[in-house]
């Protein structure tokens, strides 16, 4: 369980970013891939604990879970894997080591509200 460490990093990151804009952060949009090693539910719980007493106390965390996508050299195309326990092309079954998506742990947008 390292989601609390991640939640603290998330709060630092968002507070830093929010300083550049006026208003209050009401929601944080995060892209999360399974290969980041972070579990969405655990991160939400950790965030809800960690946000208390910060400027993000009223902010929601909205997570978009990203599927793992690999590059298949046979199909010469990006393909989503059927399972993260099997890195192969779902179309032709070629093993695919090149991960093009699925490692994300990235803040992509903030919802800002005017007010105190």
Partner 1 sequence: MANEPRLVEVRRNVLKRNDVVARALRENFREAGVTVVSLVSSPGSGKTAFLEKTLTLLQPRYRVAALVGDLATENDALRLARSGAKVSQITTGTLCHLEAEMVRGAVETWNLRELDFLFLENVGNLVCPSSYDLGEELRLVLLSVTEGEDKPLKYPTIFNSADVAVITKTDLAAAVEFDWPAAAANIQRVRPGMRVIQVSAKTGEGMDQWLAFLEALRTPAQTRA
Query: Contact residues for partner 1 (CB under 8 A)?
Result: 1-2, 5-6, 9-10, 12-14, 17, 21, 23, 26-27, 30, 34-38, 84-88, 95-97, 99, 105-115
Q: What is the smallest separation between the CB atom of 59 and partner 1, expressed in angstroms?
A: 11
Q: What is the smallest separation between the CB atom of 98 and partner 1, expressed in angstroms?
A: 9
Q: Are 108 and 19 in contact (CB under 8 A)?
A: no
CA dihedral 96, 80, 5, 115 (to 10 degrees): 150
H-state helical runs in 1-116: 3-18, 40-50
Where do the DSSP E strands lie in 24-85?
24-32, 60-65, 69-72, 77-80
Between 75 and 88, name the residue whose CB sits nearer to partner 1: 88
Between 53 and 85, name the residue whose CB sits nearer to partner 1: 85
Between 37 and 52, name the residue whose CB sits nearer to partner 1: 37
Q: What is the smallest separation between the CB atom of 111 and partner 1, expressed in angstroms?
A: 4
Q: How far apart are the first and last CA of the chain?
A: 35
Q: What is the smallest separation between the CB atom of 49 and partner 1, expressed in angstroms?
A: 15
């Amino acid at each position: 369980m390292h989601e609390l460490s991640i939640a603290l990093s998330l709060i630092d990151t968002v507070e830093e970013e929010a300083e550049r804009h006026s208003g209050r952060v009401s929601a944080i949009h995060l892209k999360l891939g399974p290969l980041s090693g972070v579990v969405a539910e655990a991160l939400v719980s950790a965030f809800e604990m960690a946000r208390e007493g910060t400027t993000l106390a009223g902010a929601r965390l909205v997570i978009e879970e990203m599927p793992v996508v690999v590059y298949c050299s046979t199909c010469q195309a990006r393909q989503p894997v059927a399972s993260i326990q099997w890195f192969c092309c779902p179309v032709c079954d070629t093993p695919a080591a090149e991960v093009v998506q699925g490692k994300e742990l990235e803040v992509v947008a903030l919802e800002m509200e005017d007010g105190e």
